[in-house]
């Protein structure tokens, strides 16, 4: 158990001394030290060097005082290990050499055994948990978001090819998302076995789907992943962007924490998720570019809306943007940690 276990307690909706806070993409280009390391190594090379990767993971915890570390990696790391040739292009994102469109291509994907093909990732986790005083979050891309890159061939605006596959070749879609779901479940369990104390699934682009498509083409597969993670004692955080219309479905899937973006007030989103799930997120990543007082007002608004509800994990509604001023991130951590959640809870309980 790490010294500071606020995140794990909040994920289980237990009382905490301070609201836990961390940031998605807390390691990255906004840090001069990260930019320096990137002059020597590509992103994928960082992931193959456990000592460098552990240092990049650890850095934001020291600099910002956040309550969790997130393993430095990318959602495409295990996909590459399944045999897909790809490149992570700066300013664009993942680009796939041969987009997947046929059953033959799906069947050529190798199952992932991280201990064999990604031993450096597990080694990084082991190095980190020896030294960290906060929980280490392992992660994977959710099958829809991974499939969207694989089928479209790269980032997409309208997701035409992936939706075409769902509706026009449902057997190919089922084969693809089944393999990805098995990979994600196995990979998350291996990360927990190596020492991660919580795991997060990033379904960044699933907000593009209608409720009907989500329930038919995604939810049953997310259920399989949640069931796999539930065999460990690590809480599962389930995150997506633009998912206001999907939150009720996402909450039906097992998983301890549901991530919310910034588009809707957090208390309204939480009402649809229900009180038996913890909630993470909600600050607009662009609020970090506002003057200090305006930023603080946004943070305090979120804290006021969640006061009295056990299970709040403070985070952004999406990842830290590359130009973000570090002082703004530090200010958010200080404001979140300055409150005393126990007092608000006692008040609510007395009621």
Q: Which residues bind ligand CP3 (CB under 6 A)?
A: 24-29, 38, 43, 70, 72-75, 88, 90-94, 139, 202, 204, 319
Q: How far is the CB of 143 from ligand CP3 (least distance, A)?
A: 13
- Return the number of the residue (199 or 309) whose C-beta is nearest ligand CP3: 199
The position carrying tokens 């990084």 is 124
The β-bridge relationship of strands 69-70 and 136-141 is: parallel
- Return the number of the residue (56 or 172) whose C-beta is nearest ligand CP3: 56
Residue 339 CA to its chain's centroid (Å): 25
| Edge-to-edge strands, sheet with 257-260 | 69-70, 136-141, 198-203, 236-240, 257-260, 278-283, 312-316
Residues designated as active site: 25, 29, 38, 74, 149
> Per-residue DSSP letters for 233-298?
SS-EEEEESS-GGGHHHHHHSS-SEEEE-SSS-HHHHHHHH-TTSEEEEEE-GGGGGS-HHHHHHH
Q: How far is the CB of 7 from ligand CP3 (least distance, A)?
A: 14
- Return the number of the residue (45 or 233) whose C-beta is nearest ligand CP3: 45
- Which residues 6+ apart lie within 8 Å of 32 measured at CB? none
Q: How far is the CB of 293 from ligand CP3 (least distance, A)?
A: 28
Q: Output the six-digit token pair for 155.
A: 């980032």
- Return the number of the residue (24 or 279) whose C-beta is nearest ligand CP3: 24
- Which residues 6+ apart lie within 8 Å of 299 measured at CB? 283, 314, 332, 335, 336
- DSSP class of residue 27 equals S
Q: How far is the CB of 322 from ligand CP3 (least distance, A)?
A: 7
């Amino acid at each position: 158990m790490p010294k500071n276990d606020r995140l794990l307690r909040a994920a289980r909706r237990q009382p905490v001394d301070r609201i836990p806070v961390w940031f998605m993409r807390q390691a990255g280009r906004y840090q001069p030290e990260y930019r320096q390391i990137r002059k020597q190594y590509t992103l994928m090379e960082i992931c193959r060097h456990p000592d460098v990767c552990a240092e990049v993971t650890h850095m934001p915890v020291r600099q910002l005082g956040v309550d969790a570390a997130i393993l430095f990696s990318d959602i495409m790391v295990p996909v590459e290990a399944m045999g897909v040739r790809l490149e992570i292009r700066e300013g664009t994102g993942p680009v796939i050499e041969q987009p997947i469109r046929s059953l033959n291509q799906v069947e050529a994907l190798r199952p992932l055994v991280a201990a064999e093909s990604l031993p450096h990732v597990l080694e990084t986790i082991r190095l980190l948990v020896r030294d960290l005083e906060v929980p280490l979050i392992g992660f994977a891309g959710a099958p829809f978001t991974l499939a969207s890159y694989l089928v479209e061939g790269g980032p997409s605006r309208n997701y035409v090819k992936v939706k075409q596959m769902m509706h026009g070749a449902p057997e190919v879609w089922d084969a693809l998302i089944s393999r990805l779901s098995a990979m994600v479940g196995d990979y998350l369990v291996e990360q927990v076995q190596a020492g991660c104390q919580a795991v997060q699934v990033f379904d960044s682009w699933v907000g593009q789907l209608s409720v009907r498509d989500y329930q038919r083409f995604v939810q049953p597969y997310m259920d399989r992943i949640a069931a796999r993670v539930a065999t460990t004692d690590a809480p599962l955080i389930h995150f997506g962007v633009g998912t206001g219309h999907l939150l009720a479905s996402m909450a039906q899937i097992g998983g301890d924490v549901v991530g919310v973006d910034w588009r809707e007030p957090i208390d309204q989103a939480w009402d649809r998720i229900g009180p038996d799930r913890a909630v993470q997120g909600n600050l607009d990543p662009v609020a970090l570019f506002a003057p200090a007082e305006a930023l603080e007002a946004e943070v305090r608004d979120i804290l006021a809306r969640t006061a009295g509800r056990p299970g709040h994990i403070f985070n952004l509604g999406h990842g830290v943007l590359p130009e973000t001023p570090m002082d703004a991130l530090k200010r958010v951590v200080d404001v979140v940690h300055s409150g005393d959640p126990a007092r608000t809870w006692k008040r609510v309980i007395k009621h």
